[in-house]
Amino acid sequence: MPVDHSCLNIALYGKGARWVMTERGVGDTVQERDSLQIGPSAMRWDKDRLIIDIEERDIRLGIPWRRRVKGQIILTPEMLNDRSFKLDPQGHHHWQAIAPRAAVEVKMQQPDIAWNGSAYLDSNHGSEPIENGFQSWHWSRAHVAKQVAVIYEGKRRDGSHFASALRFDSSGAPAEVELPMVAPMPYTYWGMERQTRADRGHASVIKTWEDSPFYARTALSARLWGEPVVAIQESISLDRLINPVVQFMLPYKMPRET
């Protein structure tokens, strides 16, 4: 039962860095039309805003003492998209950029940090485990003038590839556009392969935010359709995720509480 494996993942970088990903069972998860409660944390739609109330403990490998992580995130969409996309011919997996562009206000009490900025809200859902459908994928998002560009590509479990480039206009309506050239990126410390798309097939890493045996999150600079951009890029290897060694390590990074 998927709801028996619920968690709220929080990653704070830089000053006050924290990592939270505590799995909770069906008895600690309450889902309603406009709200979701996972243990002591919750998120809810309040008119046109998504409010996330955080009450968690962080996770540090080798350190049993878990620091409190408490605060609130308020996300206000600046554009909305109601169209979802199939990632496989059978329709087992779907992806939707709900708010391709949004304003966000982060107010943390512990650690004591706060900021305002730009945000993005999307959703993946499927009728089977994600590793059943895919071997790997790469994703990136960038502001291109007043629009938002999202590039999504990967390799399905059957060996076939998929790739698409979308540009969302100021109203949030998506349009498929020509894919830029493949832009290889350097491997991470853990040997994770990263890839994006950019004009002339060139992109530069600004910062590697997340580097794990099966997942990487990166900030990069590039040009897309003639515009200079700063993009957020993610790569995941599902083959690595299901490796027995990685599966043995996961509970240390993602403990379970009921």
pLDDT category of residue 73 using cuts at 50, 70 and 90: very high
- How many structural domains does the chain have? 1
Residue in 209, 235, 233, 231 with CA at minimum distance from that of residue 142: 231
How high is the pLDDT of residue 61?
81
Give the model confidence (pLDDT) of 107-164 as tens digits. Answer: 999 999 999 999 999 999 999 999 999 999 999 999 998 899 999 999 999 999 999 9
Tell me, what DSSP letter sits at residue 26? G
Secondary structure of residue 28 in the 3-state scheme: helix
For residue 63, what pLDDT is reported?
86
The model's pTM is 0.92
What's the mean per-residue pLDDT of the chain?
A: 95
Q: Is the pLDDT at 177 greater than 90, yes or no?
A: yes
Average pLDDT, integer, range 73-81: 97
d(CA 60, CA 62): 6
Q: What is the pLDDT confidence band of residue 78, given thresholds at 50, 70 and 90?
A: very high
Could you tell me which of 30, 115, 107, 23 has the C-alpha nearest to residue 73?
107
Q: What is the pLDDT of residue 16?
A: 87
Residues 6 or more apart whose Cβ sits within 8 Å of residue 216 = 188, 190, 192, 194, 208, 210, 234, 235, 236
What pLDDT score was predicted for residue 145? Answer: 87
Domain of residue 57 covers 2-257
Which pLDDT score is estimated for 72? 98
- Tell whether the model's pLDDT for residue 208 goes beyond 80: yes
Written in H, E and C, the secondary structure of 131-158 is HHHEEEEEEEEEEECCEEEEEEEEEECC
Q: Percent of the chain scored above 90 by pLDDT?
A: 93
pLDDT at 27: 94
Residue 146 exposed, middle or buried by CB count within 10 Å (0-12, 13-18, 19+) = exposed
